[in-house]
Amino acid sequence: MEERRSGSMVSLEPLLMLAGEGRLISRAAGGEVLQILGARQTGNAISMDDYFMDPGLGPPLHRHTHEDEVFYILQGEATFHVGGKVLRAPPGSTVFAPRGVAHTFANLGRDRLRMLMMITPPGNFSKFYGVINAPKPDGSPPGPAEFAERIGREAPKFGIEMLGPNPLGKD
C-alpha cells in the first residue's frame, strides 16, 4: 500500500514509476491513457497520465467544476482551445486549463500525439474515467459512438459540463 494512516493524518510513501509502468485506464476512440500516478498513490493530490491520441481526434468543448488540468506535450503537436483562446502547443509546451474554464484540444497534425496530463484533485475525474472506459460485456473497449454516448450521459454526474462540439473541428 502506498499510504499509511496515523489518526487523521495520511502519510504517503515515496514511489518510483519506471518508463512504461502504470495502469491502462483507457483504450477507446483512437487513444490510450496509461495512468502513471493516481489518486490513491498521492492522497488525492494529483494524478499523472501518459496520454496518446491519433491524428484527427479531440474531445468536445467542456468545463470541469472540480478539477484543474495541466498538459505537457511530449511528442506531436496539440492545438488547445482554452478560455476562448486557440493555443498551438509543440513538444515541450505546457498548457494549464483551470477548473471552471471551457477547454478542449485536438491532434490536428499527422503524427500521433503524446502528452502528460496532470489533474488536481484527481479522485472525481478518475471515477468518471472508470465509468466511461468500462469494457463492454465481451471485454472489448467501447467503440467511438458508445464512448461519446457514455461521456454525454455520465459527465454531468461528475461535475463536467459538455458545452458542444470541439471548435477546432474535432469531436
What digits encode the pLDDT tens for the residues 65-118?
999 999 999 999 999 999 999 999 999 999 999 999 999 999 999 999 999 999
CB 88 within 8 A of CB 123: no
pLDDT at 128 over 60: yes
- Is the confidence at residue 4, as pLDDT, over 70? no
| Predicted local confidence at residue 103, as pLDDT | 97
Angle at the Cα of 120 from the Cα atoms of 36 and 148, rounded to 5 degrees = 75
Residues 2-22, mean pLDDT to the nearest whole number: 72
DSSP string, 74-104: EES-EEEEETTEEEEE-TT-EEEE-TTS-EE
pLDDT band for position 6 (cuts 50, 70, 90) = very low
Cell 506531436 maps to which residue? Answer: 76
Which of 47-51, 91-95, 137-141 is predicted least confidently?
A: 137-141
Query: Distance between CA atoms of 50 and 37, rounded to whole angstroms?
Result: 10
By the 10 Å C-beta count (0-12 exposed, 13-18 middle, 19+ buried), 139 is classed as exposed
Q: In the chain, pLDDT over 90 holds for what percent of residues?
A: 64
- pLDDT bin (cut points 50, 70, 90) of residue 29 is low
Closest C-alpha among 84, 95, 147, 90 to residue 117: 95
pLDDT of 158 > 90? The answer is yes
**pTM given for the model:** 0.87
